[in-house]
Amino acid sequence: MDIAAVRRGTVDRSDRQGAKLIAVIIGEVLLPTRLQGGRATVVGPLSPLSPSPRIPAALLPVCNTPVIDYVLENLVLNGVDEATILLNSSSAEKTIAHLSECRTARGKPWMLSDSINVTVVECTRRITTLADAADEIRERNVVPQNGSFLLVPIDTMASFTNLRACYQTHLERVRKVSKYAATLLCVSSRPALSAALRNSLVNHLAEAEEVSSQSPVSPIGGSGRHGVLSIQQTSEMLRLRTYTAPSLPRERHTMFVLNKATQVVTYMARFENGEDAPEPPAVVFGSNAQQSVRMDLLPTGYMFCCCEALSLIEFHIRDLYSFLSTSLLGQTEIYGNVFGLIELSSSSAVVELINSAEAYIQCNLDVCARRLFPMTRESCFAEELAKYAVSSTCETVYLHTTAKCAGSSLMGPNVVVGEEVSVPASVELAGTVLGARVELGDEASLRSCVVMEGARIGRRCVLHGCLIGPHAVIGDGAELSFVVVGERCVLAGVTTSGAPLALQHQAIECDVDDISGSDEGGVSRGDKVEERSSSSLCSNRSESSVGDKTDKWLTGANGRGRALEDRYSSNILPTIALFTEDPVMRPSQSDGDSESSEEDDEQGLFRRSIQRHVQAALLQPSRIESSSYDMSTVCLSSGFGYPELCELVTELLMEHLLSTHCNESPADMVEAARDLFHIWCRPFYSNFLSKNQKPNVDAMTATLEGLCGSIGGEDCPLRCYGPQLVEILYYGCDDDLYNERGYCIVSGESLIAFDAEMEHRRQVLQHYTAFNGGRAKSRGVTRFSSSDSDTSSSSTSSSDDESRDLHEEGKVLVAVSCHDFIMGVKDFLEAE
């Protein structure tokens, strides 16, 4: 093989021109965690194998080479000067040992490389979100205060050679576009979408033919239709395709709306399973600012980010999508920050995201097929004697020099046989990677599988799309499809009833730390495979504490392991669903619905959406800021403004206060209101009650209306405490904030405007109704008697109107009671 292939296109470090390119690699997968045995455990698509203390995310093997080597190799090929790797303490030791000791194809370990300066940062906090990584970058001064850097995920295999050109494009946009924060690198998924569409159409036609016809159509029917394929023939052709379209896309399909001139994104939505479907965008096409709607772009996870934009990645930001959609797009009206994207050429860019077991296996096959990197970039080729050789029968079959393969064995395409592996003549391998010291039984068949170090596969086993962990044992005759088997798990070849073991779409784990005396046995050789899976040895284990945690129905009578708890489930929509289902479900409305009912439905939907976020923030106050950003997104998508939002949130807070403190005195309720508004003052109100760093008088006035309306009911215990509550909003909930800007939540200017508005409404009510500004009003003028009601619908309508009038009157009455306090504030401001 051509070892020079790894250096083709490389930019020598001394010849690099332009700005210094710095990369920050997040060496941990940003995944949710769960508590197991008192410690936080990451749950991912490759769980329970990786990430784990034994196989960190950076050391996940791809064709027996850690994924961090591929990432760094791609950065070197693109002329990156420095790379900093952020790692958790649990994975730092092993990763640093690999980077310091294992030689690369360039002759030195990565930590001593002349091509790139590699630094490892052991983080003081556990990296589970993008916000954690951003905090570490800021606190450890990983990047300079000014400039830009490249953010690189560890769970993405990429190969492209135009990274420096993209970096220059990003820098030009930073100079030309105001408040430009980041540039996202994307690739087009048009070929994959076309293949999925073709498959869905073929499958749909086959199903239609099967339903409409009792017997399959002949290839040459009596009607003379030559060349028409039968259902069986079509299905067989689909099954035999070498590269079928994946059932799931490599990344969530995202719709972008961007300005064609500046490539600045104005809208983005990700299609995934969830309760809330994304709101459709309103795109205005015109000659002044041409817009482009892209449905075929997949984010790679690589992003150029301005160093100043790190402050926008706040504590609630979990991943890159939430940063772009919430911190940037969700706050465009307030801060004006924007981002853009760059589409990488599909002819020169290959990106594989390891977001499922299927995608991980595909990465291994792409390396074998030389779509990502040739096998010569393996560190083993740096030695004087190459440790891998290409098979004489197939150019995509790679054999370790210590491997022993029978000449008649069926291997290929895309096969890697690791160190000290013996392949019997009756074994069939296709699209499979075998780690070091893997043992294979006679007549075993493995297709599209990855088998890690020390695993043992029994006789007559049939495995398809499986991921087998280190030192796992698969008994004789087992049939597995799309199964992830954890480290040192044992699957017997037969079930408890004696039938052959057959599993599909399972993930199996065991407590490796609790297994005593299995380390030496786990790497035994030769005939010990049968002894390890014998009934005597496994029955002894079943009597131990480990056996108590074994699911016999899953592993067989003599097995060891259990189903993975809280298995990772992706919310990615299947690719075919994009062509067969409507991602945005709309409730059907009857023909008799009026415009007023539609308006009420929109307001009700808006209230329910905001109420859900407020309730979540009330249960967990640390989520107030995160919920605030979500509520701002709801406003942008539903057409309501910040004044309506602030009024509604204030009403909901007061409703919560009245319901939770209903048994307390009014004075205690007022103090509880002071504490509640103190909690919500900075994370919520400070974000929405200012516009361009100036007080938003309209939103403040709406906040006061929400307060007065929520306590305006005749039976509300706080109806007479309006001045005290308004005082809290003005200067009684945050002393530091009041000393800083002269008010807490609402300003004196907004108080005066609110008083004038409420006085106007009071005069209108007195003029058109019997409202008397504080005296009880007789409802005889506007209320219909029961004898005057002709139908039940008219009585319901009149009662709704009456309730709205009572709410408005109660609000005005509370506002009138605050008049003296507001006049005192006005006199104070005029005296200053």
Q: How confident is the model at residue 587 (pLDDT cuts 50, 70, 90)?
A: very low
The yes-or-no verdict on residue 783 having pLDDT over 50 is no
Q: Count Cα neighbours of 380 within 13 Å in the Cβ-side half-sphere.
A: 18
Show the tokens assigned to 450: 């990855």
Q: How confident is the model at residue 479 (pLDDT cuts 50, 70, 90)?
A: very high
495 vs 84 pLDDT, higher one = 84
Tell me what the mean pLDDT of segment 500-509 comes to.
89
Q: How confident is the model at residue 41 (pLDDT cuts 50, 70, 90)?
A: confident
486 vs 394 pLDDT, higher one = 486
Show the tokens assigned to 294: 């892209």
Distance CA 275, CA 267 (A): 20
The DSSP 8-state label assigned to residue 16 in this structure reads -
pTM: 0.65
Distance CA 777, CA 782 (A): 11
- Return the percentage of the chain with pLDDT > 90, whole number: 34
Could you report the per-residue pLDDT of 61-71, keeping only the tens digit for each? 998 889 999 99
Show the tokens assigned to 645: 């939002």
Size (the chain), residues: 832
* Burial of 151 per CB tally in 10 Å (0-12, 13-18, 19+): buried
DSSP string, 431-493: EEEE-TT-EE-TT-EEEEEEE-TT-EE-TT-EEES-EE-TT-EE-TT-EEEEEEE-TT-EE-S
Q: How confident is the model at residue 582 (pLDDT cuts 50, 70, 90)?
A: low
Query: Which of 141-155, 653-667, 776-790 is least confident?
Result: 776-790
Q: How confident is the model at residue 476 (pLDDT cuts 50, 70, 90)?
A: very high
Distance CA 790, CA 766 (A): 29
The yes-or-no verdict on residue 704 having pLDDT over 80 is yes
| Long-range contacts of the stretch 2-5 (C-beta < 8 A, 24+) | 2/374, 2/376, 3/105, 3/376, 3/381, 5/374, 5/376
Could you report the per-residue pLDDT of 333-357, keeping only the tens digit for each? 667 789 999 998 877 788 888 888 8
Could you report the per-residue pLDDT of 197-227, keeping only the tens digit for each? 777 777 666 666 666 654 443 333 333 333 3
The yes-or-no verdict on residue 133 having pLDDT over 90 is yes
Tell me what the mean pLDDT of segment 476-499 comes to.
89
Query: Which of 286-290, 614-618, 748-752, 823-827 is least confident?
Result: 286-290
Distance CA 48, CA 138 (A): 32
Given this model, what pLDDT does residue 221 score? 37
Show the tokens assigned to 548: 């108590």
Q: How confident is the model at residue 600 (pLDDT cuts 50, 70, 90)?
A: low
- Mean pLDDT in the chain? 78
| Long-range contacts of the stretch 571-574 (C-beta < 8 A, 24+) | 571/272, 571/273, 571/274, 572/248, 572/249, 572/251, 572/252, 572/272, 572/273, 572/355, 573/252, 573/253, 573/271, 573/272, 573/273, 574/247, 574/248
Tell me what the mean pLDDT of segment 486-513 comes to.
86
Q: Are 31 and 42 in contact (CB under 8 A)?
A: yes
Query: Which of 37-46, 534-543, 796-805 is least confident?
Result: 534-543
Could you report the per-residue pLDDT of 358-409, keeping only the tens digit for each? 889 988 988 888 887 765 444 444 445 557 778 877 888 888 888 888 766 7
Given this model, what pLDDT does residue 355 score? 83
Tell me what the mean pLDDT of segment 627-650 comes to.
85
Written in H, E and C, the secondary structure of 166-191 is HHHHHHHHHHHCCCEEEEEEEEECHH
- Return the percentage of the chain with pLDDT > 70, whole number: 73
Q: How confident is the model at residue 484 (pLDDT cuts 50, 70, 90)?
A: very high
H-run or E-run covering 616? helix 595-619
> Is domain 380-563 annotated with CATH 2.160.10?
yes
Q: Count Cα neighbours of 285 within 13 Å in the Cβ-side half-sphere.
A: 2
Written in H, E and C, the secondary structure of 561-602 is CEECCCCCCCCECCCCHHHHCCCCCCCCCCCCCCHHHHHHHH
The yes-or-no verdict on residue 540 having pLDDT over 50 is no
Given this model, what pLDDT does residue 289 score? 73
Given this model, what pLDDT does residue 780 score? 36
The yes-or-no verdict on residue 166 having pLDDT over 90 is yes
Pick the CATH number of 20-154 from 3.90.550.10, 3.60.21.10, 3.30.70.270, 3.60.20.10: 3.90.550.10
Show the tokens assigned to 500: 């052959």
The yes-or-no verdict on residue 542 having pLDDT over 50 is no
Q: Is the peptide bond before 66 cis (omega within 30 degrees of 0)?
A: no
Query: Which of 260-274, 532-546, 742-756 is least confident?
Result: 532-546
Q: How confident is the model at residue 514 (pLDDT cuts 50, 70, 90)?
A: low
* Burial of 8 per CB tally in 10 Å (0-12, 13-18, 19+): exposed
Would you list the domain boundaries of the chain? 20-154, 158-204+243-300+308-355, 380-563, 608-831
Question: Are β-strands 33-36 and 502-509 bridged in parallel, bridged antiparallel, or unpaired?
Answer: unpaired
The yes-or-no verdict on residue 460 having pLDDT over 50 is yes
The listed range with the strongest mean pLDDT (272-276, 321-325, 370-374) is: 321-325
Phi and psi at residue 504, in whole multiples of 5°? -140, 140
Matching residue, tokens 């976020």: 613
Show the tokens assigned to 415: 């096969």
Given this model, what pLDDT does residue 4 score? 34
Centre a 10 Å sphere on the Cβ of residue 707 and count the other Cβ atoms it contains: 30
Could you report the per-residue pLDDT of 171-206, keeping only the tens digit for each? 999 999 989 999 999 988 777 677 667 777 776 666
Distance CA 722, CA 774 (A): 14
The yes-or-no verdict on residue 793 having pLDDT over 50 is no
Given this model, what pLDDT does residue 217 score? 39
Could you report the per-residue pLDDT of 70-118, keeping only the tens digit for each? 999 899 989 899 999 999 998 999 999 999 988 777 778 899 988 899 9
Q: What's the angle, vertex CA 771, arms to CA 766 and CA 775, rounded to 5?
A: 125
Given this model, what pLDDT does residue 602 score? 74
Tell me what the mean pLDDT of segment 695-722 comes to.
91
Start-to-end CA span in the chain (Å): 84
Centre a 10 Å sphere on the Cβ of residue 335 and count the other Cβ atoms it contains: 15
